[in-house]
Amino acid sequence: MGKEVRVRFAPSPTGDLHVGNIRTALFDWAYARHTGGTFIFRIEDTDTTRVTDEYIQAAIDTLKWLGLNWDEGPEVGGPNGPYLQSQRLGIYAEWAQKFLDQKDAYYCYCTPVELEARREAQRAANVAPGYDGQCRDLTDAQIADYKGQGREAVVRMRMPDGSTTFTDEIRGEVTFDHKFVPDFVLVRGDGSPLYTLAVAVDDVMMKVSHVLRGEDLLTNTARQLHLQQCLGYQTPSYLHLPLVTNDAGEKLSKQTKATAVDIANPESIQVSLSRAANHLGLKNDPFGGSISQWLNRKVKEWRERHSI
């Protein structure tokens, strides 16, 4: 494809890794090894209410145990670290301020109650709910009034009129009308960054060339592309993979306990990776031998480790 391949696996460890995570990690790892590229392992841990050190370590241990070694990330370091988002908060604050200075973003003083009331009105009017731009062009007097009321402001990104079109390397050309991509929050009132800001900044700062992820994140792409363009960097190529589903066609996620990849439970590993292998269309694993042989080997390793 002409450019150095740099892919990233960036889970948000709010629970054990699940089959969808492992499929993405396998795609990333295999693509990096096939092309002689770089596999980056990044931890998206800005959700401090749900991410725990235990889950972060479990994610690290799971990839290590599966043999999906990374070139940059926790424990191995790299030139673009740190690789935990909680250690990059100053970087996000700097970029949020640049967006404010460039007028690409603005302070929004709307309260949760006001926002919900306006969403209810939109739904009643059969209008797609979304931020209505109330604080887009506040006067100095209005800002002073809100501050005088003690209101907490978030930083909200300004989406321009028009649309975003990009080429998904799996789906082809995709277009999002900005009427359905309203201005979105970058930074909470307490100063903590949201996922959309952190992931866009990290992908360009870490020089990610290809983003492989589930199709449930497709609708985020217009926001991330706009952010990356405002950052002034080249945007990555995007590949949105079909969701991993059960036999009933239902999405498998970390809320689906039976699909969690728990290295203390060999049966969960076997079920999860067998399903991942089927969705990948893999007949042979990247480590030599068949997928089933690899799974059996991993289960045997687990039983030996625990003297079972």
Q: Specify the amino acid at residue 2.
A: G
Task: Give one DSSP letter per residue of 76-104, joined into a string.
Answer: TB-TT---BGGG-HHHHHHHHHHHHHTTS
Annotation marks residue 283 as catalytic: no
Q: Specify the amino acid at residue 229.
A: Q
Please tell me which residue in 179, 254, 257, 283 is annotated as part of the active site: 254
Is residue 9 within 8 Å of 40, Cβ to Cβ? yes
Q: Are strands 38-41 and 6-9 parallel, antiparallel or unpaired?
A: parallel
Strand 38-41: give its sheet, edge to edge. Answer: 38-41, 6-9, 210-214, 237-241, 163-168, 172-177
CA nearest to 243, candidates 218, 210, 211: 218
Assign residue 207 a region: left if phi > 0, alpha if psi is -120 to 50, beta otherwise?
left
Assign residue 72 a region: left if phi > 0, alpha if psi is -120 to 50, beta otherwise?
beta
Strand 154-157: give its sheet, edge to edge. Answer: 105-108, 154-157, 184-187
Report how far Cα 41 is from the mean position of its chain's Cα atoms: 12
Give CA–CA dist 44/257, Å, rounded: 21
Active site amino acids: 254
